[in-house]
Amino acid sequence: MPERDTVVACAAMGWSKRLALLGLVLGVAGCGGRTINEDDVASGGSCAPGAQVACACPNGSSGVQLCRGDGTFGACSCGGSAGAGGAPSGSSSVGAMSNGVGASTGEGAGGPASSTGSGGSPYLADHYSLEHWVGPQIWSGLTRSTAVDLQDRVYVTDGAAIFVVDDGVPSMYLSHNELTAFDDDAEVIDMDVGPDGNLYILLGDFSPSILVSSAPHSAAVHIDGVADPYSASRMAVESPDRILLVTTFDGMLAVSAGGVTSIYPDEALGGSGCLGEDVAASQDGYVYYLPGCNGTPVLGGKSDGSGLGILGDPDDLGEYYFWMFGGLARNPPGGTVVNLVGTIYHFTIDGVATEVNTTPTLENITDDEGVFHVAPIEVGPSGAIYVITGLDIYRAVPD
């Protein structure tokens, strides 16, 4: 059976069982693939650098061990204080990345795979005050393309023009006429802010251009006419010289002035092209991906293509709702923050999920229009979390 057919057949078993994708990336046929386990660690066996396994913490909770560059496991990381007999307080371990695609170690050893609050996580505040921040003052509708810069300014678009919200005040950033100077249709597909503080704009989906802007009403071509990818849908800026694109048919690509390289094939993404698809990249070499289809998990792994794993599965989290309306963002202190239709989670790269504690909850403050709409999410350097619906922006501020 060809490799592609093998992956499709195995994938029918359900996302939480997609060890089949390990074979695609590592060149292993069939649905097999071996995950290093605790017996390997105890016996001193070698491991693949970057692989992670569950381990026992002194208080009885479950931690994670990382395989070092020399092929041996490091010390057990217990992630801070933990509740009795469970995952770290305020969180739950729902999966650990392996050095392949779709491998997961399962949920933590002491309790359910969802938590009720931030619980002192180093990546989050204990509590956030959530409010309606900005309404449709100068726009009539917003798409799922958003960004936040180093000054906590939020960028949104209606697909034809780009607006910026600075301290709650919206204004025009790039008009449709200014964008048509680069493309006749001037369709804004996605935006992201790079580590240099500049706004990068994916303009046009077929052979798109990537623009760069450092000030209102000013932009330049950063990469002109990205070759080959079919229907680029999402963009994440790892650095000005390495921009990640998710495409409908060609999977995840890395784009630079020197050309295009493949990172993960389309099969490894498990649902690209779905309604709530989203991607985020950190500057420490990790990428996070939300396929955005009903029942699909949050994925995370190395942005160099060496491994992508399941960080959270809807069944494990008790989230059976419409993930296709969610969104995902880079979290400056580490990991990713995900909007799962009214519930906000933080995920670490090793699969620890923490529900963000807000008052009121996102589900309570937004109406049906806000919930049943693709709702991207952004996190600013201040720690504020922004959720953007079809018309409005909501802000959660750390207390």
Can you give the three-state secondary structure of 4-53, one letter per residue? HHHHHHHHCCCHHHCCHHHHHHHCCCCCCCCCCCHHHHHCCCCCCCCCEE
Q: Is residue 182 part of a domain?
A: yes
* pLDDT of the residue at 101: 37
Give the pLDDT band of residue 317 (cuts 50, 70, 90). confident
* Residue-wise DSSP of 221-281: EEE-S--S-SSEEEEEEEETTEEEEEESSS-EEEEETTEEEEEE-HHHHSSTT-TT-EEEE
pLDDT higher than threshold 50 for residue 35: no
Tens digits of per-residue pLDDT, 329-388? 999 999 999 987 778 899 999 889 999 999 998 877 765 454 445 678 999 999 999 999
> Within 13 Å and on the Cβ side, how many CA atoms surround 40?
19
**Whether the predicted pLDDT of 216 surpasses 50:** yes
Q: Give the pLDDT of residue 225.
A: 76
- With cut-offs at 50, 70 and 90, classify the pLDDT of residue 250: confident
Mean pLDDT of 192-219: 92
Opening angle at CA 140, ends 136 and 145, nearest 5: 85
pLDDT at 1 over 50: no
Residue 15 domain flag? no
For residues 279 and 293, the answer to whether their CB atoms sit within 8 Å is: no
pLDDT classification of 138: cutoffs 50, 70, 90 = very high
As given in the structure block, the two tokens for residue 52 are 């992670």
Domain holding 370: CATH number? 2.120.10.30
> What one-character DSSP code corresponds to residue 103?
-
> Is the pLDDT at 309 greater than 60, yes or no?
yes
- Range 73-98 average pLDDT: 40
- The answer to whether position 315 is within a domain reads no
Instruction: Read off the pLDDT of residues 259-274 as tens digits, 9 standing for 90 and up.
Output: 889 999 888 887 555 6
Percent of the chain with pLDDT over 90: 41
> Are residues 213 and 181 in contact, defined by beta-carbon separation less than 8 angstroms?
no
- The mean pLDDT of 290-307, rounded to a whole number, is 86
Residue 94 pLDDT level (bands cut at 50, 70, 90):
very low
How long, in residues, is the chain?
399
Rounded CA-CA distance 19/5 in Å is 14
In the chain, the number of structural domains is: 1
Which of these ranges, 172-181, 202-211, 366-375, 389-398, has the smallest mean pLDDT? 366-375
| DSSP assignment letter at 302 | E
Q: How far apart are CA 99 and CA 233, in angstroms?
A: 26
The reported pTM is 0.72
For the chain, the distance separating the N- and C-terminal CA atoms, rounded to the nearest angstrom, is 56
Look at residue 333 and tell me if it is in a domain: yes
Residue type, 65: Q
Is residue 143 predicted with pLDDT exceeding 60?
Answer: yes
Region 201-224 average pLDDT: 91
Decide if 292 is inside a domain.
yes
CA-nearest of 101, 107, 109, 63 to 310 is: 101
Which range in 30-44, 142-156, 275-289, 304-318 is most confidently predicted, on average pLDDT? 142-156
Residue 360 tokens, joined: 């009121």
| Per-position DSSP letters for 61-80, written without gaps between them | -EEEEEB-TTSSB-PPB--S
pLDDT of residue 51: 59
Q: Indicate whether 25 belongs to any domain.
A: no
* 141: number of Cβ within 10 Å: 11
Res 293: pLDDT? 75
55-72, pLDDT tens digit by residue?
776 666 666 666 555 567
| pLDDT score at 398 | 95
Q: How far is CA 6 from CA 22, 100, 281, in A?
A: 11, 16, 29
- How far is residue 291's CA from residue 284's CA, in Å, rounded to a whole number? 22
Range of the domain at 152: 128-303+320-398
- Rounded distance, CA 342 to CA 372, Å? 10
For the cut 50, the answer to whether the pLDDT of residue 8 exceeds it is: no
Has residue 92 been placed in a domain? no
pLDDT at residue 27 tops 50: no
The SS3 of residue 89 is coil
Residue 324 lies in a domain: yes
What is the reported pLDDT for 130?
Answer: 94
Question: Residue 357's pLDDT is what?
Answer: 94
Q: Percent of the chain scored above 70 by pLDDT?
A: 63
Q: C-alpha dihedral over 259, 26, 77, 303, to 10 degrees?
A: 10
